[in-house]
């Protein structure tokens, strides 16, 4: 067999929370099943667990400070995020629990190279706490979606989905936990497709 000479896919990760999806991606890399290399992790929340995960793995971690806007970064700050991603050599931007809308500076810099994971079967239940929305709607199944990011709210082209049942007695926390098990399976698998060059 010819040994692989392909360089690892350099990923930049943006998050706001505990970072369990980032941890799932790291685990696949460490297990040798994913040819990717996280080169920078950024969070817009100081003290976010995802930053500790990065530091623990020896990956540069950076806090994005945005005092003025809430749902998105100001254009200047998002431009600075782009600069840091480019300086780190990032090829794919992975949103992992990042709670802001992404706008033009980032989307223009990385066309078809910004992806997100969302805890519902899009196009159903975009936006916040999608698992609570699913419970309130009384649906029998929910799940998660990996999609390309565009300027809308969870509206980009779908790359992969996984379903989970909604069970009698489910609480929002129980349903979210069941969805996250699938998130941790499909998100690394999608990153692997980019690493293999399967997603132009
Ligand atoms: C996940 O449910 C993901 O679908 C949503 O935010 C949550 C992030 O979880 N976008 P984590 O920080 O990866 O644990």
Residue-wise pLDDT for 139-179, tens only, equals 999 999 999 999 999 999 999 999 999 999 999 999 999 99
What tokens does 43 get?
Answer: 């969070």
Q: By alpha-carbon position, which residue is closest to atom 10 of ligand 1?
A: 97
For residue 123, cis peptide bond before it (omega within 30 degrees of 0): yes
Tell me the CA–centroid distance for residue 96 and ligand 1, in Å: 6
Which of 49, 145, 183 for a ligand 1 pocket mutation test, highest count of atoms within 8 Å of Cβ? 183
Which of 18, 97, 128 for a ligand 1 pocket mutation test, highest count of atoms within 8 Å of Cβ? 97
Tell me which of 24 and 69 has the higher pLDDT.
24
Pairing of β 92-95 and β 114-118: parallel
Structural domains in the chain plus CATH codes: 9-195 (3.40.50.170)
- Return the ligand 1 atom nearest residue 24 CA: 13
> Is residue 154 a contact partner of residue 127, using CB atoms and an 8 Å limit?
yes
What tokens does 142 get?
Answer: 């929910």
pTM to 2 decimals?
A: 0.96
pLDDT at 69: 82
Q: Give the closest residue to 110 by CA, choosing from 14, 36, 7, 5.
A: 14
Q: By alpha-carbon position, which residue is closest to atom 14 of ligand 1?
A: 20
Residue-wise pLDDT for 96-138, tens only, equals 999 999 999 999 999 999 999 999 999 999 999 999 999 999 9
Q: Three-state DSSP class for 193?
A: helix
Edge-to-edge strand list for the sheet holding 61-63: 61-63, 36-43, 9-15, 92-95, 114-118, 141-148, 158-165
Q: Rounded CA gap, 81 and 75, in Å?
A: 10
- Structure-token match 């990923």, residue found: 11
The residue length of the chain stands at: 200
């Amino acid at each position: 067999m010819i040994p692989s000479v392909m360089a690892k896919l350099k990923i930049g990760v943006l998050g706001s929370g505990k970072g369990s999806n980032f941890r799932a991606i790291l685990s696949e890399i460490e297990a040798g099943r994913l040819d990717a290399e996280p080169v920078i992790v950024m969070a817009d929340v100081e003290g976010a667990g995802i930053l500790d995960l990065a530091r623990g793995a020896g990956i540069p971690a950076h806090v994005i400070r945005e005092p003025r806007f809430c749902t998105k970064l100001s254009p200047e700050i998002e431009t600075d995020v782009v600069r840091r991603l480019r300086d780190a050599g990032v090829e794919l931007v992975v949103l992992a629990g990042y709670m802001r809308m992404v706008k033009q500076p980032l989307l223009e810099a990385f066309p078809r190279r910004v992806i997100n994971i969302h805890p519902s079967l899009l196009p159903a239940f975009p936006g916040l706490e999608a698992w609570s929305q699913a419970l309130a709607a009384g649906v029998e199944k929910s799940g998660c979606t990996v999609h390309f990011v565009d300027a809308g709210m969870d509206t980009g082209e779908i790359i992969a989905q996984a379903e989970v049942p909604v069970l009698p007695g489910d609480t929002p926390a129980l349903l979210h936990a069941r969805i996250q098990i699938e998130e941790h399976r499909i998100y690394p698998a999608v990153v692997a497709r980019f690493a293999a060059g399967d997603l132009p």
